[in-house]
Chain A
Amino acid sequence: MDIKLDNINGVAIVTVGGNINMDNCNELRDAFKKVLKDGKTKVLIDLAKVVFIDSSGIASLIEMFQNLEKVGGKMRLCHVNKNIIGLFEITKVHKLFGIFENREEALKEF
């Protein structure tokens, strides 16, 4: 898994690539912890380069969503491929996340 952290106008951008699964989702959790530790409450997760996600990966996103909710923050997702959106819809977690086509649209919604 590749993870890159950026900052655009006060929004933390977490760009993820590769697989998000049981074996490596703690790397993503660590990145999320760093974002929270830095005091960021607006977080955009860019999944453009994510090719696979399992239920543990979905759980790591839910965990981040909950942590942000606790501090009054917001989490948005963008560039989510159709296969992954399908999994979000089956599990109904798409109702939790704001999902946007691209960064520009997502950034407008913070």
Chain B
Amino acid sequence: MIIFDQTIPSDMSGVTEFVSAVFEKLSFLSFDEPTVFNLKLCLHEAVVNAIKHGNKLNSKLRVRVIIKNEENKLIFEVDDQGEGFDPQSIPDPTAEENILKCSGRGVFLIKNIMDDVQFQNNGKTIKMVKLLKKEEG
């Protein structure tokens, strides 16, 4: 079941407010505070990536966020209107040669926090899945 579906402009200044508003709408899911923190981070990173790397900050392009609540999982899909990318091309930010680099941690964090992450539509869609404990669903 889709519980959230919104398209937003490629405006970096509105991301924090947008993500907060999303999680106010998801408050009925009764997540604990660390889970909310981590899910907010993942959605924030995905939307920032969609605006910055996907849509290249082009204000004419938009980002769509869809959230689905299925039996035992919460699914976040973030689509951009850019040219896509090869998700295999992202280097491991924890490797010794990358640890001091000032970028490249967003997707890594998402992959480590979410239970499943898939890139679809030539990298223009990121699908992030969080399995729910029984009391959260």
Chain A positions near chain B (C-beta within 8 angstroms): 19, 21-23, 52, 54-56, 58-60, 62-63, 65-66, 82-83, 86-87, 90-93, 95-96
Q: Which residues of B contact A (CB under 8 A)?
A: 12-13, 15-16, 33-34, 37-38, 40-41, 44-45, 48, 52, 93-94, 99-103, 105-106, 108-109, 112-113
CB <8 Å contact, B109 and A55: yes
B residues less than 8 Å from A54 (CB atoms): 41, 44-45, 48, 106
Query: Given the known A-B contacts A23-B13, A93-B99, are A52 and B112 also in contact in the complex, defined by CB atoms under 8 Å?
Result: no
**Of B34, B48, B108, which contacts A91 at CB under 8 A?**
B108
B37 near A83: Cβ-Cβ < 8 Å: yes
Closest A residue to B40 by beta carbon equals A52
Main secondary structure of the interface of B (DSSP, over half): helix
Q: Is the CB of B12 within 8 A of A87?
A: no
A63 in contact with B102 (CB, 8 Å):
yes
Main secondary structure of the interface of A (DSSP, over half): helix
Residues of B within 8 A of A19 (CB): 16
Which A residue's beta carbon lies closest to that of B17? A23
Q: What residues on A are CB-neighbors of B34 within 8 Å?
A: 82-83, 86
**Residue contact B12 to A22, C-beta cutoff 8 Å:** yes
